Amino acid sequence: MMEKNNSGMKKSNSENKINRRKFLISLGNTATGIVVLGGIGVTFEYLTPNVLLEIPKVFKIGPINSIQPNSVIFEPEQRTFVVREEQGSFYALSAVCTHLGCTTKWNDIGAAGNSAAVISCPCHGSLFNKYGEVLQGPAPRTLDKYRVQLEDDKLVINTGEKVSEDEMILKV
């Protein structure tokens, strides 16, 4: 009985050692797996280009007969207003406030005591008329005006090419 018990206990001890060994091996394999996966993740992140895609400076709108006179199209990606005047001509203005760069809003019905359309900045209250001229600060200067050209019945707006007040209007 004692031998049996003793041998039984020995057997049980050796089984425990095997189980502990298996446990330690699987623990080691798991830890190795985690380290390898982490290494793969870091390598993948290292090899992935860490660049911001640049927003295209040139964009198209049209065909022009689909744009109603006396209307404004806001292009959120380029933060640009494209305006069609009552008489049919076009111009494009930057919607970026010249104070600290907030995106301005076009208000058809006017604002702050102005009954005509205005462009207002929600950040610190600057106000511009519909041609981008400052009506109320703190904006230090007019909104940028961009070159607008006609190409195959579409407008091509180049936000990389600022123009003067004299060059801003495209007559069609």
Handedness of CA 86, 91, 92, 95 (dihedral sign): negative
| Least distance to ligand FES, CB of residue 94, Å | 12
From 82, 97, 143, 148, residue interacting with ligand FES (rule: CB under 6 A): 97
Answer yes or no whether residue 121 interacts with ligand FES by CB under 6 A: yes
Strand partners, 125: none
Answer yes or no whether residue 117 interacts with ligand FES by CB under 6 A: no
Report the C-alpha gap between 10 and 20 in whole angstroms: 15
| Least distance to ligand FES, CB of residue 146, Å | 19
Q: Tell me which amino acid residue 152 is.
A: D
| Least distance to ligand FES, CB of residue 137, Å | 8
Of 30-38, 59-67, 94-102, 143-151, the window that binds ligand FES (rule: CB under 6 A) is 94-102
Of 25-33, 35-43, 68-76, 97-105, the window that binds ligand FES (rule: CB under 6 A) is 97-105
> In degrees to the nearest 10, what's the CA dihedral of 124, 130, 136, 137?
50
Characterize the bridge pairing of strands 127-129 and 80-84: unpaired
**Tokens representing residue 79 in the block:** 């933060």
Residues lying near ligand FES in the complex (CB under 6 A)? 97, 99-100, 102, 121, 123-126, 138-139
